[in-house]
Amino acid sequence: MKILVLNCGSSSVRYQVFGMSDERVMAKGVVEKIGLPDATLTHRPTGRDKVEIVTSIPDHATAISMMADALTHPEYGIVESLDQIDIVGHRIVHGGAHFIGAAMIDEQVIAELERLTELAPLHNPPSLAGIHACEEAIPGVPMVAVFDTAFHQTMEPEAYLYPLPYEMYERHGIRRFGFHGTSNKYITSRVEDILKTPAADLKIINCHLGNGCSITAIQGGKSVNTSMGFTPLEGLMMGTRCGDVDPAVVAYIMRKENWDAHEASECMNKRSGLLGVSGVSNDLRNVIEEAEKGHMRSQLAIDMFCKSIVRYIGAYMAEMNGVDVIVLTAGVGENSPLIREKVCRHLEFAGVEFDSEENKINGKEHAITKPGSKVKVMVIPTNEELMIAREAKTLLEKRHVAID
């Protein structure tokens, strides 16, 4: 079985093709700068040289059709024809309260996704464009939608409701949804495998620290609380997003700066976080580099970032009445010994025995606590694409059973 996994962003399309007999990546690639004259397709067939094409790519349909050409190219393709792809898995950021798991894409699902664009105006439209482009480029191949929000549908109302008037929930559906669910699901399954313990018996806190950052409390294999909310803006300080601020600041800032709602949202989503505080970059590597040279605001940004992580870990420890495993994942979690150490040092009170030697190792699954540590802290590289492929496989197999 071959599965194409697609992640369509506003100006990019990322893809991977998996051979599911051994879950190997056959090819992966990315189309970047869609809409600009120097858009680029970078295609990497496994074990062969990468191919780069720079050209004008006006829209997602063109990007998907170029990806389709690359996948079937006589020199650097990986299949002769696209009907050798069994199923396409689409990453969809927002599934609202409707989708509690992955769904085979049909007209109804598309209609629901269109309805949800109001909740995720930045994220869902490119995914829909990707779905429509696939209908054209790979007609007849079934497609599955895998939602970032689905894993969090297990939260209880006391975790997902905001203390606003209840009618705001009833009338407008305002509630916590949570994101990075696919990553959380993958990490949960890796923790089970590594510790040879069923998730049902574990309390896990997963810290997904990339450009977007969230922390999730996972008890008995289920999300019981998560730091992102109605949108991916709430919670931790992030690359360009502010995370938690006093909501009264928004109205105040709008008055003072003479901004409309869009401008305020732009500021909090795109010009805050590490970038906003440091004034240097949203990329933690640059912020660390500047802090090492003595740049005060970069150091402040790092300290604030770590404090926000520690605050959520502490809150979720209390909420679950303890924790067995804390996982650090995504770009920062997998690659930054500095942030890992600063976070772990704060958690000694809870029984985290930090191992500074292990912490020097990046990008591979391992514990960064001493063997007897009461709470284990692990670095586990996430793999959302593989998780999407697995979900797509499961749904396809179920469909075959239903048809048989």
Contacts with ligand ADP by CB under 6 A lie at 210-212, 239, 283-285, 330-332, 335-336
**Cβ closest to ligand ADP, residue 138 vs residue 268:** 268
Question: Which two three-digit tokens encode residue 66?
Answer: 């170029």
Provide the minimum distance between the beta carbon of 164 and ligand ADP in the complex, in angstroms, as a whole number.
Answer: 29
CB closer to ligand ADP, 124 vs 335 = 335
Residue 191 carries which side chain, given as an amino acid letter? Answer: V
Separation of alpha carbons 281 and 182, rounded Å: 27
The SS3 call for residue 46 is coil
Instruction: List the beta bridge partners of residue 354.
Output: 369
Which CB, 19 or 337, lies closer to ligand ADP? Answer: 337
Q: Which is nearer to ligand ADP, 363 or 371 (CB)?
A: 363
Considering the complex, state which of residue 221 and residue 331 has its C-beta at the smaller distance from ligand ADP.
Answer: 331
Q: How far is the CB of 363 from ligand ADP (least distance, A)?
A: 9
In angstroms, give the least distance from the CB of 211 to ligand ADP.
4
Look at residue 199 and give its three-state secondary structure: helix
Question: Which residue number is nearest to ligand ADP in terms of Cβ?
Answer: 331
Catalytic residue positions? 148
Q: How far apart are CA 4 and CA 10, in angstroms?
A: 19
What are the CA-CA distances from residue 371 to residues 188, 281, 338, 355 (Å)? Answer: 20, 37, 21, 9
Is residue 163 within 8 Å of 229, Cβ to Cβ?
no
Min dist CB 149 to ligand ADP, Å, is: 16
Close Cβ partners of 239 (under 8 Å, ≥ 6 residues apart): 210, 211, 212, 213, 273, 274, 275, 282, 283, 284
Would you tell me how many other CB atoms lie within 10 Å of the CB of residue 114?
12
In terms of Cα–Cα distance, which of 198, 219, 104, 70 is closest to 156? 219
Q: Measured from the CB atom, is 89 or 221 closer to ligand ADP?
A: 89
Rounded to 10 deg, the angle between the 124-137 and 60-71 helix axes is 50
Q: Hey, what amino acid is at 311?
A: R
Pick between residue 131 and residue 275 the one whose CB is nearest to ligand ADP. 275
Question: Measured from the CB of residue 171, what is the shortest distance to ligand ADP in angstroms?
Answer: 32
In the complex, minimum distance from the CB of residue 213 to ligand ADP, in angstroms, rounded to a whole number: 8
| Rg, C-alpha atoms of the chain | 22
Rounded CA separation 90/143 (Å):
7
Contact predicate 89/4, CB 8 Å: yes
Query: Where do the H-state alpha helices sit in 117-260?
Result: 124-137, 157-160, 166-172, 181-195, 248-257
Quote the least distance from Cβ 11 to ligand ADP, whole Å. Answer: 13
Which of 160/305 has CB closer to ligand ADP?
Answer: 305
Q: How far is the CB of 16 from ligand ADP (least distance, A)?
A: 14
* DSSP string covering 268-335: HHHS-HHHHHHSS-SSHHHHHHHHHTT-HHHHHHHHHHHHHHHHHHHHHHHHHTS-SEEEEEHHHHHH
Query: Checking phi first, is residue 194 left (phi over 0); if not, alpha (psi -120 to 50) or beta?
Result: alpha
Q: What angle do CA 306, 307, 309 make, to 5 degrees?
A: 65
